[in-house]
Amino acid sequence: MDNPARWSHFQHDADIGVRGCGPTLEAAFEQAALAMTAVMTDPRLVKAETPVRLHCEAPDAELLLVDWLNALVYATATRNTLFSRFKVSIHNHRLDATAWGEPIDAGRHQPAAEVKGATYTALKVVREADGSWCAQCVVDV
Amino acid sequence: MDTTRLQRISDFEWRIPRHDAMRVPGVIFGSRALIEDMDDKVAEQVTNVATLPGIVSASYAMPDAHWGYGFAIGGVAAFDPDAGGVVSAGGVGFDISCGVRTLNTGLQREAIEARQGPLADALFAAIPAGLGSTGGIHLDDPGLNAMLRGGALWAVEQGWGDARDLERIEEHGCMSGADPAAVSAQARHRQRNEMGTLGSGNHYLEVQAVSRIFDSDTAAVFGLQEGDVLVSIHCGSRGLGHQIGTEYLKLMLLAAQRHGIALPERELACAPIDSDTGRAYLGAMRAGINCALANRQILTHLVREVFARLYPGAVLQLLYDVSHNTCKVETHEVDGRPRRLFVHRKGATRAFGPGHPELPEVFRQSGQPVLIGGSMGTASYILCGNASSESLSFASACHGAGRAMSRRKAYKTWHGRQVIDSLREQGIIVRSPSSRGVAEEAPGAYKDVASVVNATDHAGLARKVAELKPVVCIKG
């Protein structure tokens, strides 16, 4: 594969940037979500058990990324759940997704920082020259 | 930051002259060394804020300023509603009314050191800390509305604390103008299990001992002597505040567009103070302030219960409670006349000087206590507002150390266990649910808080009163 799906973090003074890249816009969004989970814990420690369905809509792809990540922040906070697997579909700036995860287990997950919200800082959704997609923003912790 | 681009006003005050779309100049406080260490993004953000409608005097950055969202963290800006001034959710921050409160335990360092381990264990057991932790208080909708209107006053009425606490909290413990109806169902839902919790990240509860007094007259007013043991709590408005910040940031993006406000970047999203969105945000943000004040009041009650068990007879008196992520309506003198302004402080502490009418009687002569949290393992400081801070920065000072290293790099550099052991050798006990969280918050990941506090003192923003050294730290 030339452009496998992958996630990374990038530097921000106080907080942390999350970036997801993949062969499609959807894959980039899935990987950005994984990068956000990785701010809180090692995603490999989170069992992809319980599915949660999420939807959001925004005027452009960048605002949609922020809404998507904030929908996950909300689901984490209100369901006390961490997520490690994502399936995203996007049509006409509407996102429908399923996220799989499990309840937070402080002993096993050793959650570090809580993500308070996704921000518009360093917010970018771009199609690279090789046709792959990358989606990124800073999250407030 | 390249200081050659700045105009040096004094050793601790630097100016970004007005240019292009700036309506006012930018002013950055700090020593040359602190400013050279700041990211260039700070100057960019100070400049961007200076372009917003209705800004008055200057766009300021405190000595601990660093790259934030739209506004720098450590940013201060005041807006005049009569001059088309705006209110910005990004200028307050996600963690509305995040702040520090400090209690004087009336105990001495020796008494604590004799039972340091049991105290650390008891506090760790009593204070819900870390991601996913829940409090013992679950509010229904009417209860939540009462909390959002009443703040710490509500908490005291519920039995969490003492009416005497209230005069030692900004706004006397209850922010007026809160509008629970402007707080969404989602924000309420996020708070359902989070009342009386500490949170995570840089939030903490610390037992500290006064290690040095710089200003003995003011220290006497604050009731501080060397060796005194204090408890400081650093946290904010929890999930409710975060959700309000998230939702209004988005609404303000649309409002700015509607009102024809040109935004240099999206994170500066704002709405005219005198608009539906502006008014709704102010009502919700004030409810968020009350949530934070109530939360710190509940945590205070939990701390008092622990001390009552371990040190029967100990009376924990509130020294003061400051918020460092707010927008407040204040009267300031500008060009010789008083003006009613909406002062945004994002990662900056209010620092009213002597004689300010809003201060309680006990601090009327001295000025307001300014509580500066260090990082885990390093000193914290108590400062006091000066008469000069009024004209320098709308009576504002710094709020903490500020990170020097990213979380990821800190996690790769240190192990939580190693940080805990090395602090233990220095006589500090750390308790945290997350070893990774401890590594990310390692003392070496932060800037030197002493240099920030010294610059704040030299710049005249607030004067140093006392230095505190940690003894026990409960880390979220």
Residue A109 lies in a domain: yes
Residue of B nearest to A82 (CA): B132
pLDDT for B422-450, tens place per residue?
999 999 999 998 888 999 999 988 888 99
pTM of the model: 0.96
Residues paired with residue A54 on neighbouring β-strands, in sequence order: A97
Q: Are B182 and B287 spatial neighbours (Cβ–Cβ below 8 Å)?
A: yes
Q: How many CA atoms lie within 13 A of B153 on its CB side?
A: 15
- Distance from C-alpha of B322 to C-alpha of B300, rounded to nearest angstrom: 14
Mean pLDDT for all residues in chain B: 95
Mean pLDDT for all residues in chain A: 94
pLDDT for B190-214, tens place per residue?
998 899 999 988 899 999 999 999 9
Q: Is the pLDDT of residue B289 over 60?
A: yes
Q: What residues in B contact A66, CB-CB < 8 Å?
A: 250
B415 is catalytic: no
Q: What three-state secondary structure class fits B461?
A: coil
Residue A95 lies in a domain: yes
Residue A94 lies in a domain: yes
Q: Is the pLDDT of residue A2 over 70?
A: no
Contact B41 A140 (CB under 8 A): no
Cβ contacts of B166-172, under 8 Å, gap ≥ 24:
B167/B360, B167/B361, B167/B362, B168/B318, B168/B319, B168/B320, B168/B321, B168/B360, B168/B362, B169/B101, B169/B293, B169/B297, B169/B318, B169/B320, B169/B321, B170/B321, B170/B322, B170/B323, B170/B350, B171/B289, B171/B293, B172/B360
Between residues 181 and 200 of chain B, which touch chain A (CB distance below 8 Å)?
186, 189-190, 192-194, 199-200
Contact B94 A116 (CB under 8 A): yes
> What type of residue sits at position B300?
T
At A11, the pLDDT band (50, 70, 90 cuts) reads confident
Structural domain count, chain A: 1
Q: Bin B196: left if φ > 0, else alpha if -120 < ψ < 50, else beta.
A: left
Number of H helices, E strands in chain A: 3, 8
Listed in sequence order, the residues at least 6 apart from B246 whose beta carbon sits closer than 8 Å to its beta carbon are: A70, A73, A117, A118, B94
Task: Measure B99 CA to nearest chain A CA, in Å.
Answer: 15
Q: Please list the helix, strand and coil fractions of chain A in percent, rounded to the nearest 5, in that order.
A: 30, 40, 30
Q: Give percent of chain A with pLDDT exceeding 90.
A: 84
- Distance from C-alpha of A72 to C-alpha of A36, rounded to nearest angstrom: 9
- Res A112: pLDDT: 87
Residue of A nearest to B194 (CA): A77
Question: Domain map of chain B by residue range?
Answer: 3-404+446-475
Tell me the CA end-to-end span of chain B in Å, nearest whole number: 32
- Res B362: pLDDT: 96
The complex's ipTM? 0.90
Q: What sign for the dihedral angle of Cα B301, B303, B306, B312?
A: negative
pLDDT for B109-152, tens place per residue?
999 999 999 999 999 999 999 888 888 899 999 999 999 999 99
Tokens matching residue B57? 């005097």
pLDDT for B344-394, tens place per residue?
999 999 999 999 999 999 999 999 999 999 888 789 999 999 999 999 999
Give the pLDDT mean for B397-412: 87
Listed in sequence order, the residues at least 6 apart from B144 whose beta carbon sits closer than 8 Å to its beta carbon are: B180, B188, B191
Q: Is B334 exposed, middle or buried (0-12, 13-18, 19+ CB in 10 A)?
A: middle
- Convert B196-257 into a string of H (helix), E (strand) and C (coil): CCCCCCCCEEEEEEEEEECCHHHHHHHCCCCCEEEEEEEECCHHHHHHHHHHHHHHHHHHHH
- Res B403: pLDDT: 80
Give which of B188, B198, B300, B167 is closest to B244, Cα–Cα: B188
Listed in sequence order, the residues at least 6 apart from B427 whose beta carbon sits closer than 8 Å to its beta carbon are: B113, B471
Q: Are B109 and B301 spatial neighbours (Cβ–Cβ below 8 Å)?
A: no
Residue A1 lies in a domain: no
Give the pLDDT mean for B223-251: 96
CATH code for the domain of A89:
3.55.10.10
Domain extent at residue A58:
6-140
pLDDT for B1-20, tens place per residue?
988 889 999 999 999 999 99
Between residues 87 and 116 of chain B, which touch chain A (CB distance below 8 Å)?
93-95
Picking from B189, B409, B434, the nearest residue to A112 by CB comes out as: B434
- Distance from C-alpha of A112 to C-alpha of B433, rounded to nearest angstrom: 9
Listed in sequence order, the residues at least 6 apart from A116 whose beta carbon sits closer than 8 Å to its beta carbon are: A73, A139, A140, A141, B94, B95, B242, B245
- Distance from C-alpha of B111 to C-alpha of A139, rounded to nearest angstrom: 42
Query: Does domain B3-404+446-475 correspond to CATH entry 3.40.640.10?
Result: no
Tokens matching residue B432? 């945290």
Distances in Å between the alpha carbon of B160 and those of A64, B99, B191, B302? Answer: 42, 19, 18, 8
Tokens matching residue B263? 């935004």
Contact B70 A121 (CB under 8 A): yes
Q: Give percent of chain B with pLDDT exceeding 70.
A: 100
Q: Is the pLDDT of residue A3 over 70?
A: no
Give which of B468, B425, B467, B441 is closest to B204, Cα–Cα: B441
